[in-house]
Structure 1
């Protein structure tokens, strides 16, 4: 309000250039939707190609071997081992089969001399630390 009006504009004055056009979101949305649709189609197409007549792609023996290897690695790492997830060889097996295989692997491992040695070592360490801390 305190400035004088600029009408008419001074001689030689040119208007500022127009602002750049806004991006065309429609094109971006179309490309993104097309890419998502293509990825979905390829994923579904691969599942159809790799599907073995409705049978699971994973085999029980490969899953069992992977579980045994994973359990031995995590047992050797001790309590600092990261949480384990199902091995890739077990993907595709139904829940009941996976639970049965896991139970068999756990039973087999707990009956092994390796597990007995780890258990004895852990008990010995626990008793030694309890005896050392129990004092007057």
Structure 2
């Protein structure tokens, strides 16, 4: 099922259940999708473009969550954690550490990387393979670990 269809169905369910938080997050995601669609001049976005937008929204919330935690804003932390949980329902299944490790190692061999100078080359080859399925900072740490 396309992401937009899923969002519409879930939005109807949230309205029926009077779940304001879920409804708010779904509306925000739909607005982001529509804005991107308008910006690109397309009627419909590809799955890859939808995933990019979802990842961006999730990353923004995780960054904000970190900032709010360090500022001691527990009221906002709880709200953001709820939003992150709702957004993660629409993301693809996340890769395990072992799966990521295998992808990073095989990519390092594919691009013949040998030193830390090759981190950029490895990262640019790995990221399309794991788009939306893993956090970029986590991948970066693994690449650095293997290129020592």
For the criterion TM > 0.5, the same-fold answer is: no
- TM-score under structure 2 length normalisation: 0.30
Considering fraction of residues, name the structure with more helix.
Answer: 2
- TM-score under structure 1 length normalisation: 0.32
* Structure number, greater radius of gyration: 1
